[in-house]
Amino acid sequence: QWEPNSGNGQAIVHLFEWKWSDIAAECENFLGPRGFAGVQISPPNENAALYLGEQTRPWWERYQPVSYRLFTRSGDENAFKDMVNRCNSVGVRIYADIVINHMTGWHPAGTGATGGSSFDAGSESYPAVPYSGFDFNDANCHTGSGNIENYGDAEQVRNCKLVGLNDLNQGSDYVRGKIKDYLNTLVGYGVAGFRVDASKHMWPGDMKVIFDSVNNLPTKYFKAGSRPFVFQEVIDLGGEAIGSMEYVGIGRVTEFKYGKFLGEAFRGKNQLKWLSNFGEGWGMLDRAYSLVFIDNHDNQRGHGAGGDMILTFRQSKLYKMATAFMLAFPYGYTRLMSSYYWDQNWVNGQDKNDWIGPPHDDNYNTLSPTFNTDGSCGNGWICEHRWRQIYSMVEFRNVAHGTDMNDWWDNGNNQIAFCRGDRGFIAINNEGYDMKETLQTCLSAGKYCDVISGSKEGGSCTGKTVTVDGAGKAYIEITTMEEDGVLAIHANSKL
Ligand code: ARE
Ligand code: CA
């Protein structure tokens, strides 16, 4: 299923490592009112609780399932139910990150789990599901180490262990049944779809059977006959045995080229003028199949793909520019990253602190975000989705939805501008000099509030204003002294 089952919203946000109770409140207080379509949540199922000396309670323990009980550092089953209900009630959908390729990596017997279940990784025993050795792929993997050794061989990418994680056999009816039951529990509570972790490591045929077996979404919140939205994590930068095209028959696929290419362009490795045909024209998936983002929870910390070209909150000016481009440009279904802060510790080109988990108290309980008077977050949470330049562009994308890109303009280098039908106009200046141009905005005559430098409050604008004449033209200025390199106006920002 390729459609997100949301109302008018055209962007979702990954509230990475947030607690369920905080997400419920965020839906009501911020995401619903601001027109966000939904939230990608961290994996809701029970995981290994890892106390590895210096690396205690890493974020990545949540990618090591112990059972499908809904019990994690984000909250228990009741908190989960309450979150899904409260978010659905204000029109914000919940998409669960599902880890169904594997269970845990090896840990000594007696290692704990977030819900108190026992497991023995060495004998592949997970009694709380239950899974045992028969349910794993060991017999189907033929590498010396039992791990994936060569991404050029599709067979081992799917049947061997990803970084030592016990690899489930989705070809087995029993395993399919357990996964189906888990997904039906989530759907039963009102979850609108799934981010499918490590999809490259599962056979598309098996995944198709599993997703086809899941129930329709409940009619309490969804149209009768609605199917869960599926977006599959497949990293495909080219050059491997497995390509993202193999998965488009099941649902959308993460397009990792997108953030890498935009990172390169905004970092000055490529001229912005080439972005006029960004998307399919650059060898990316058809827009109907792609899920796009600037960074994700992996590549913002050097895991996954994209390397040092990926932009994150740490390059805030460029990050806001790239995000504005993404939300203004009609390609793919868009996802925003919402992060927590950690101190980096670079040693030989690698961040030794890439494991650090979310803000927590002395007992490693996750802390809630606090909110400053300007709406930004505290307590260690970055909350990119609460940056004005970002949430304002979520509204832009909703307002412009259904139109195409037109009236592209560039200065032959790194200043660009374009319209979205007669609904929105954006200009971006990534030169070392001021942008001062009279451009076609495609909007009706009148005065508009630039939603990047400020916002429309009541009838007036707290930022720059733009005056569009009867021919749709306006004088556009973005100086290098300004905080942001973007100007955006749209039908709803008319004064
Ligand atoms: C951790 C430790 C390991 C240890 C393992 C088992 O770091 O040292 O061996 O536990 O004990 C996350 C972390 C991992 C972590 C894992 C489990 O990133 O470090 O391992 O959780 O706790 C490939 C996959 C892709 C995957 C990326 C990270 O194809 O699916 O690797 N991304 C998802 C999630 C991750 C998560 C997992 C999968 C596992 O988003 O957060 O891992 O559930 C090329 C290839 C890509 C490949 C990439 C990196 O680009 O094209 O396919 O991505 O290299 O290898
Ligand atoms: Ca596998």
Nearest CA to ligand 1 atom 33: 198
Q: Is the CB of 194 under 6 A from ligand 1?
A: no
- Pocket perturbation via mutation, ligand 1, pick of 55, 303, 356 by most ligand atoms within 8 A of CB: 303
Q: Which helix (H) or strand (E) holds 291?
A: strand 290-292
Ligand 1 pocket mutation pick from 52, 235, 237, 309 by most atoms within 8 angstroms of CB:
235
pLDDT score for 303: 87
ipTM: 0.98
Neighbouring CB atoms inside 10 A of 128's CB total: 18
Report CA(141)–ligand 1 centroid distance (Å). 18
User: Which residue's alpha carbon is nearest to atom 36 within ligand 1?
Assistant: 63
**φ/ψ bin of 279: left (φ > 0), alpha (ψ from -120 to 50), beta (otherwise):** left
d(CA 183, CA 211): 9
Give the per-residue pLDDT at 8.
83
Rama region for 120: left / alpha / beta (φ>0; ψ in -120 to 50; rest)? beta
Q: Residue 101's pLDDT is what?
A: 99
Going by C-alpha positions, the residue among 292, 423, 402, 226 that lies closest to residue 11 is 292
Which ligand 1 atom minimizes the distance to the CA of 236?
51
Sequence-distant (6+) residues with CB within 8 A of 262 are 278, 294, 311, 322, 325, 326
- What is the mean pLDDT of each successive set of 10 residues along the chain, which is 495 residues long? 92 98 98 98 98 96 98 98 98 98 97 98 98 98 98 98 98 98 98 98 98 98 97 97 98 98 98 98 98 98 89 98 98 98 95 97 98 97 98 98 98 98 98 98 98 96 98 98 98 98
Helix (H, G, I), strand (E, B) or coil at 260: helix
Our answer to whether residue 255 is catalytic in this structure is: no
How far is ligand 2, taken at its centre, from the CA of residue 213, in Å?
Answer: 19
Nearest atom in ligand 1 to 58's CA = 22
CB-ligand 1 contact for 22 (6 Å cutoff): no
Residue of 209, 244, 214, 242 whose CA lies nearest to 229: 214
Task: State how far the Cα of 408 lies from the Cα of 418, in Å rounded to an integer.
Answer: 4
Ligand 2 ion: Cβ-proximal residues, 5 Å cutoff: 101, 158, 167, 201
14 CA to centre of own chain = 5
The protein residue whose alpha carbon is closest to atom 13 in ligand 1 is 60
Measured distance CA(456)–CA(32) in Å, rounded: 18
CA distance 194 to 183: 9
DSSP 380: T
From the CB of 164, is ligand 1 less than 6 Å away? yes
Q: Whose CA is nearest to atom 43 of ligand 1?
A: 63
Pocket test for ligand 1, best of 162, 166, 301 (most atoms within 8 A of CB): 162
Distances (CA, A) of 456 to 388, 451, 459: 12, 7, 7
The confidence score (pLDDT) of residue 130 equals 98
Report the pLDDT value the prediction gives residue 156, as an integer from 0 to 100.
98
Q: What residue spans of 401-440 are helical by DSSP H? A: none
- Residue 233 a catalytic site member: yes
Is 16 touching ligand 1 by the criterion CB < 6 Å?
no
Which pTM does this prediction carry? 0.98
